[in-house]
C-alpha cells in the first residue's frame, strides 16, 4: 500500500520545473568546482534536506545522467 501512497503523493506534489533544475545545476557547479553531478550526489547523501530539495537534486542527477554521451 505504501508504494501506491507514494505514487499519489508524488502526483500531488509541486512539480520541479526545468528552469529550477538548470538553476540548481548552475549553483551546484559553483559550490562544487564545476562538478555538478558529484555535487548533487554529495549533497543528497549528506541528508537533512527537505523532500522538495531531495526531489530537485534527484532531478539534477537525472538530467545530467541523461546528457552523458
- Domain residue ranges in the chain: 15-67
Residue 1, pLDDT above cutoff 60: no
- Return d(Cα 24, Cα 19) in angstroms, integer: 9
Q: Between 63 and 5, where is the model more confident?
A: 63
- Mean pLDDT across 38-62: 95
Which of 59, 53, 25 has its CA nearest to residue 39? 25
DSSP output for 7-35:
HHHHHHSPPPPHHHHHHHHHHHHHHTTT-
What local confidence, expressed as pLDDT, does residue 8 receive?
64
Predicted TM-score of the model (pTM):
0.79
Q: Is pLDDT of 6 > 70? A: no
Amino acid at each position: 500500500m505504501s508504494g501506491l501512497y507514494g505514487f499519489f503523493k508524488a502526483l500531488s506534489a509541486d512539480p520541479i520545473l526545468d528552469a529550477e533544475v538548470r538553476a540548481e545545476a548552475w549553483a551546484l557547479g559553483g559550490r562544487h568546482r564545476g562538478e555538478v553531478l558529484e555535487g548533487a550526489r554529495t549533497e543528497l547523501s549528506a541528508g537533512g534536506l527537505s523532500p522538495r530539495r531531495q526531489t530537485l537534486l534527484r532531478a539534477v542527477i537525472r538530467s545530467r545522467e541523461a546528457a552523458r554521451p
